[in-house]
C-alpha cells in the first residue's frame, strides 16, 4: 500500500505545481499534448460529443500519465512525476526518521490543516449558482440502493479502509498509548470524526459539482465520478469554470496532498513498528550507512525510479509496547 498510495501524493503535487499559472493548462486545447479531438467547455458541441475528448481528460491521459497505446508499449519514465516522487519520498523520510514522537507532532498539521482548506472550499462552493442542487443530490437518500448487496460491500470496504483497520494503522498507533488509556472513548471518537469528515468533505465537493452541472445543463449524476476521476478529472474541470480558477485549483490539490501525506506517514510507521518490535536492540545498535530502517524503507519503495538520496543516519526508536 505504501508503494501504490504514494502515487496520489505524486499526482497531487504535480497538479499543484501545474496550477501555479495564470491559466490552468487543462483549460485549453492549445498545448502540445492535445489531439485534434480535444474540446473545451466553450467549444463543446453536443452533436459530435462521441468524437471528442475533453481537454481535462487529455491532460490527465497524455500530460500527467503519458499513457501509451497498450501493455506492449510501456513507454518511458515521466520525468516530472519522477521528480515529484523523489521530492515526496525525501519529505516522508524527514518526517518519520526521528520516530513516533516527531511523527505525532506532524500529524497535528496533516490532520487539522485540511479542515481549514476544506472550509474555504465549502464557503466558496455554496456561493456558486447550482450549489443547492448539488447538496440536495448529495443529501437526499435513495433507499432503493439498499437492496443492492454490492452497496453494502462497498460501504464496508470503505469504512474499514478509511478507519485504518485493514492495514493495521489503528492498532499500531494504539500500541503507543499509556497502559490505562481509555481506548473505548478513543475508538468512538475516531469513528465519529472519520464519518463526519466524509460528510463534511462531500458538502464541499458536491456544491461545486452542482455548479458544474448547472453550467453544462446536465444532471448531477452525469458529472459525478468516483476514484481518481473525481479528483483529477471532474474537479479540475469544474474549477476551470470558476473565477480565479488557478487559486481554487492549487488550494484543492494542496489539501489533497496534505491529506494523503498524513495517510502515507501512518502507513510507513505501520510497516516499521512491528519490525522494530521484533529486533529492538539490534536496530538501536546497528552501525554504518544503513543504520536507519526508515531510510531503508524509503529507498526501497523509491528505487524503481533509480533516484537514491543521501542523508544523516538516525537511530530508530522502539515501539511503545517494548518500552513498557
Q: List, for residues 131-165, the tens digit of each pLDDT value.
A: 999 999 999 988 888 899 998 998 888 888 888 88
The ranges of the chain with pLDDT < 70 are: 41-50, 225-227, 281-294, 296-297, 299-324
What confidence score (pLDDT) does residue 166 get?
Answer: 78
Is 304 within 8 Å of 78 (Cβ atoms)? no
**What are the domain boundaries of the chain?**
2-323
What was the pLDDT predicted at 274? 85
Sequence-separated (6 or more) residues with CB below 8 Å from residue 292? 97, 313, 314, 315, 316
pLDDT in tens, 188-224: 999 999 999 989 999 998 998 898 888 878 888 777 7
Task: Quote the CA–CA distance of 115 and 20 in Å, as a whole number.
Answer: 22
Q: Which helix (H) or strand (E) holds 253?
A: helix 245-278
Amino acid at each position: 500500500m505504501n508503494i501504490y498510495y504514494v502515487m496520489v501524493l505524486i499526482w497531487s503535487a504535480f497538479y499543484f505545481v501545474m496550477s501555479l499559472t495564470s491559466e490552468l493548462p487543462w483549460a485549453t486545447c492549445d498545448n502540445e499534448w492535445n489531439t485534434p479531438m480535444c474540446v473545451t467547455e466553450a467549444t463543446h458541441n453536443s452533436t459530435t460529443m462521441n468524437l471528442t475528448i475533453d481537454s481535462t481528460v487529455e491532460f490527465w491521459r497524455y500530460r500527467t500519465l503519458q499513457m501509451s497505446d497498450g501493455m506492449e508499449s510501456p513507454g518511458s519514465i515521466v520525468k516530472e512525476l519522477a521528480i515529484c516522487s523523489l521530492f515526496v519520498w525525501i519529505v516522508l523520510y524527514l518526517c518519520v526518521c526521528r520516530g513516533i514522537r516527531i511523527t505525532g507532532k506532524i500529524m497535528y498539521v496533516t490532520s487539522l490543516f485540511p479542515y481549514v482548506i476544506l472550509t474555504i472550499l465549502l464557503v466558496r462552493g455554496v456561493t456558486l449558482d447550482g450549489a443547492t442542487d448539488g447538496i440536495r443530490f448529495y443529501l437526499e437518500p435513495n433507499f432503493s440502493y439498499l437492496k443492492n448487496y454490492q452497496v453494502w460491500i462497498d460501504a464496508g470496504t470503505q469504512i474499514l479502509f478509511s478507519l485504518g483497520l485493514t492495514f493495521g494503522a489503528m492498532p499500531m498507533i494504539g500500541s503507543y498509548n499509556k497502559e490505562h488509556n481509555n481506548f473505548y472513548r478513543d475508538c468512538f471518537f475516531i469513528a465519529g470524526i472519520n464519518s463526519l469528515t466524509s460528510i463534511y468533505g462531500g458538502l464541499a465537493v458536491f456544491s461545486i459539482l452542482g455548479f458544474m452541472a448547472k453550467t453544462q445543463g446536465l444532471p448531477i449524476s452525469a458529472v459525478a465520478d468516483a476514484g481518481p476521476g473525481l479528483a483529477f478529472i471532474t474537479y479540475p474541470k469544474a474549477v476551470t469554470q470558476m473565477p480565479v480558477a488557478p487559486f481554487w485549483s492549487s488550494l484543492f490539490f494542496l489539501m489533497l496532498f496534505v491529506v494523503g501525506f498524513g495517510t502515507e506517514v501512518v502507513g510507513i510507521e505501520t510497516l516499521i513498528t512491528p519490525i522494530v518490535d521484533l529486533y529492538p536492540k539490534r536496530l538501536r545498535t546497528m552501525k554504518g550507512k544503513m543504520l536507519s530502517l526508515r531510510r531503508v524503507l524509503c529507498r526501497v519503495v523509491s528505487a524503481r525510479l533509480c533516484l537514491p538520496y543521501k542523508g544523516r543516519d538516525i537511530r530508530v526508536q522502539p515501539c511503545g509496547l517494548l518500552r513498557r
